[in-house]
Chain A
Amino acid sequence: MREMVTMVVVLTILSAFSGGLLSGLRNATASRIEVQQLKFVKGPAIKTILEGVSNDPIADRFAIKDGEVERKFFVGKFDGKANTVVLESFGKGYGGDIGLMVAVNVEDDTIVGVGVTTHSETPGLGATAKDDPGFASQFKGMPIKETFKVTNDGGKVNAISGATITSRAVCSAASDAGTMYQKLKPQLEEKLKEFK
């Protein structure tokens, strides 16, 4: 009996201590990790989809409260006008969440470009969504109001062969970005004025 109690007590204390330490460290490093992700993953993705942009979209970013969550947006300037905004959304892929950056032109509500950021898809199959620009470029010029679907589901997007789940996830992430964009559009336009 005594032995049982010792075992339970030791394991509990160890686990509690470990949990406390890790959540503390997580909080301490969270902001730094975010900066690193911006610099090494999201930054390059944004730069690719906003080709020919005249400002630094990473520096020109702002946040809007959408209900409980705070969402981040990046601003792209073309020909001196801040007319493009980049949203981030997520879709459920084959191996976890897929992060997607969606750049939208606020003047005519069309997609400027999309790019996959963080993912854990199978290399060679699902990971093509990030590596092959051909897939992402299909979204270019499409109106953001649409609900995006792969051709199998009656949509317009050609799925990556062998990676339908990934392709669907990207489509649903793009659709989510569209919903979010339409909901927050008045606020986004308000914010964009500050960057002119």
Chain B
Amino acid sequence: MAKTLTQEFTKGLWEEIAPFRLVLGLCPVLGVTTTMENGIGMGLATTFVLVFSNILVASLRNIIPAKVRIACFIIIIATFVVVTELLMQAFAYPLFLKLGVFIPLIVVNCIVLGRAEAFASKNDIALSVADGLGIGIGFTLSLAALGALRELFGANNLTIWTTPTSIIGVQEVFGANFEPFTFMVQAPGAFVCLGLMLCVMNLMGSK
């Protein structure tokens, strides 16, 4: 049963990649992935919360009484979410403006609570960090992939990061004459994209 650190880390990247394999945490997956940059930002914020809440839950796992464990997990998670929100406002305000309401919603993201309950409360700190990092990076990659796909076809751009002075990324990938499918950056486009990606993932996994 005992797995190595590497195994716990890599399972989050493919085997149990949260939005596609477990189909968890779909609210931010569908909501923020209008651009690749938003996806990356949201993914990193979630990873931060995930890793630190896993550390704290794992280190307190013998102290937290079983009957009130969910309440304790939520206190821990909510604390780190507010920390993320404040830090993001202080150091990445434009990103905060774009992600807006989705940052506080990390509190109720079932991936974070799920990892606390299913993993960190039963394993030691090192394994929990590996698990949190793996799942978090997997989540970031999924969001970035979905965001990239939607931004590419929906807006004809590919933004990795926006600094106050310049944009890192490619503008007008298909040239200026390409007419973007605005459908892709709207809400229904998110469902269609996610569905197609799930389909591809399942095809690859079903051999």
Contacts and interface: CB of A to CB of B under 8 A. Distances in A.
Partners in one complex: yes
Interface string B44-86: 0000000000000000000111011001100110110011001
- 10 smallest CB-CB distances across A and B, nearest first, come from A36-B93, A18-B79, A29-B90, A32-B90, A33-B89, A7-B65, A7-B68, A29-B86, A40-B93, A14-B75
A18 B78 contact: yes
Given A3-B65, A18-B79, A29-B86, 5 more contacts: A11-B72, A14-B75, A21-B79, A25-B82, A29-B87
Interface residues of A, number: 20
Interface in A41-62: 41
Given A26-B86, A32-B90, A37-B93, A15 B67 contact: no
Interface in A107-140: none
A39 B93 contact: yes
A189 B72 CA distance: 55
Interface residues on B, range: 20 to 34
Nearest to A32: B90
A22 interface: yes
Contacts of B90: 29, 32-33, 36
A14 B72 contact: yes
Interface of A: 3, 6-7, 10-11, 14-15, 18, 21-22, 25-26, 29, 32-33, 36-37, 39-41
B94 interface: yes
A39 B87 CA distance: 16
B180 to A, nearest CB: 20
Nearest to B65: A7
A15 B89 CA distance: 23
Contacts of A3: 65, 67
